[in-house]
Structure 1
Amino acid sequence: MLQLIAHDVPALVFPVGADVLQVLWCPLIHSDHDQHSPVPMLRWRSVADLADRPLLDVAPRPYEFDDEYVPQPCVIHPTETVEYPNWDMPAELSERVGEWSEKMEESCGISYYDAFTTQQSKVGGYPGWTQPPKWPHCSCGSRMEHLLTISASESCGRWLPVEERTRPGCGWETSDNPELQHGSHEMIMGDCGGVYVFVCRSCPSWPTTHRYDC
C-alpha cells in the first residue's frame, strides 16, 4: 500500500534499528470494522532486510479486492510544510478563526482552511477530519499521536500549493499536463474521506490504530 524510507521523510521518527515503514491493508470492505473501512497494518523494517529481495516490475493484484481500496501504483515526492489544525481547536478559538477566515477569503480568495491546513495524504501534522474529530486513546491512557493520513481526496485531482493554484481557494485541480493527470493513488474510499493512522510512542511496542471518515 505505502512504503516510506527514513531518508525521504526525515521528520518521521522510526524505532531503533528500523528505517523503512510499510503500511499494508486488506483490500476488502470490512463491514464490521469502523464504518466499512480498510484495516491498515504497519510493519517497521530496515533497508538491509529488504536489500536481498528482488524488485517487482509490476505490482501484483490481489486475488479478491474492492476497487476503491486498491491504489494505483505511484511514486510519492514528500514536501515539508507547516500546518495548523482545522477542527482540533477549542470552540472559542474555532469561532474566532472562522470569522477571520471569512474576512481572509473575501479579501484574497483563500480561506484559512485552504492556506494553513493540509488535506492530502501526509505524515505527521493534524488529521484532516471530514467528520468531527475522534482521537483514539491507547490502553495506557495516553492520547495517541497522528502518524499519517491516506486521503481519498487525491483521487479528485492533483493537490497544489497556494503558489501554483490557478483559481483562488482551489487546492485540487486537474492538470493539462498528461504526466500529472495520473499522479494520484486513485482511491475513492467512500465520499472522498480518509484513513488516519495513530501510534502510541509511550508504549515500548508502539501500538497503532486507525480512524476512518468520509
Structure 2
Amino acid sequence: MVPVIQLFARDAPWVEFPPGKDLAQLVWCPLEHDEEPGGSVVPRLYWRDEAETGARGTLSDAPVPREGEYGEDLVPRPCTVSPTPAVEYPGYDLPDELLTTLLPRLEQLQDRFGLWYTEVASALQNKAGGYPAWTQSPDWPHCGAGHRMEHLFSVTSEVAYGRWLPLDEHEPGTTQPQWQAPAAEDIVDTIGPELMLGDMGGVYIFLCRRCPDLPYAHRFDCH
C-alpha cells in the first residue's frame, strides 16, 4: 500500500469527521486489479486521531513498492495540499427536468464562454467533498443497507487541467475566472501527485454516514 491522501480536519472544515477523529488517511495498492471496474486500484480509508498517531512516530520516507511490482503511474508523487473552498454543482447528475428548465441559460453560458455546463459545474480535480465530476455515466455506490453513499474524495489525473487550481498556484497576473484560465504548463508540471489513472481518469471515494461503521466504497471513472 502507498499513501495517497493525508488530510487533517483543521485544513478542511467543510468535511465532517467521525467523533474523536481529526485525521483521514487514504492508501491504495498501486496494482491494476482486473477484478475491479476498469482494472483500478484498491483503496483503504482510515480515520485516526492525530495526537495518537503522532505519538506512535512517523516514517521519514513514504513506503514505495519494489521496482517492477506496480504501475509507476499509480504511485503518487509526494506533495502538499492547498485547501481552497469552492462552490460546485451536480454535473451529469443534474435531474433531466431541471436540465430542461435551465437549458436556455446553459446555452447562453456556452455561447459566452465557450464552455458547456458540465465542464465548469464540478471540479475534475483532487478534492474533498463536493460532487463527483463524472466523465462517464454516474455510478453512485450503495452500502449494504441500501443507502446511497456521499462523495468524500476524488483523486484524479486532471490536476494539469488547471482551471480549478488554488489562486496561489495560478500564473501571476491572471485576471480571468479560474475556470476559464488554465494555468501555465511550467506550473502544473511541478504540483500535484502526478498520477495517470487509466485514460486521464480518477478514483472517487464514497462514504455512508447513515451506518454506524461508516462503510466506504470507490468508483473508477475515466474518459
Category of TM-score, reference length = shorter chain: 0.7 to 0.9
SS across alignment from 1:197: strand
Q: Determine the structure 1 residue equivalent to 2:134.
A: 129
1:141 to 136, 140, 146: 146
For 1:31, the equivalent position in structure 2 comes to 34
Task: Look up the match of 1:173.
Answer: 183
Give the distance between the partners of 2:90 and 2:179, measured in 1 at CA: 18
What is the alpha-carbon distance in structure 2 between the residues aligned to residue 60 and residue 93 of structure 1?
47
Q: Does structure 1 residue 119 correspond to structure 2 residue 124?
A: yes
- C-alpha contact (below 8 Å) 1:87/1:133 kept by paired residues: yes
Percent identity over the alignment is 42
| SS at structure 2 position matched to 1:147 | strand
For the residues of structure 2 that align with 1:3 and 1:168, how far apart are their CA atoms? 26
- Residue in 1 aligned with 2:215? 207
2:78 matched residue in structure 1: 73
**Alignment partner, residue 186 of structure 1:** 194
Matched residues, number:
212
8 Å contact kept, 1:18–1:44: yes
User: Normalized against structure 2, the TM-score is what?
Assistant: 0.84
- C-alpha contact (below 8 Å) 1:20/1:47 kept by paired residues: yes
Q: RMSD of the TM alignment (CA)?
A: 2.5
C-alpha change, 1:70 and 1:133, in structure 2 (3 Å) is same
What's the secondary structure of 2:88's corresponding residue? coil
Gaps of 5+ in 2: none
CA distance in 2, matches of 1:190, 1:205: 31
Kept after mapping to 2: 8 A contact 1:24/1:41: yes
1:160 aligns with 2:170: no
For structure 1, the 5+ residue unaligned runs are none
Aligned partners of 1:79, 1:21: CA distance in 2, in Å? 17
Give the letter for the 1:133 counterpart.
P
Is the contact made by 2:15 and 2:129 (CA closer than 8 Å) also made in structure 1? Answer: yes
Q: TM-score, with normalisation over the residues of structure 1?
A: 0.87
Q: Aligned letter for 1:22?
A: Q
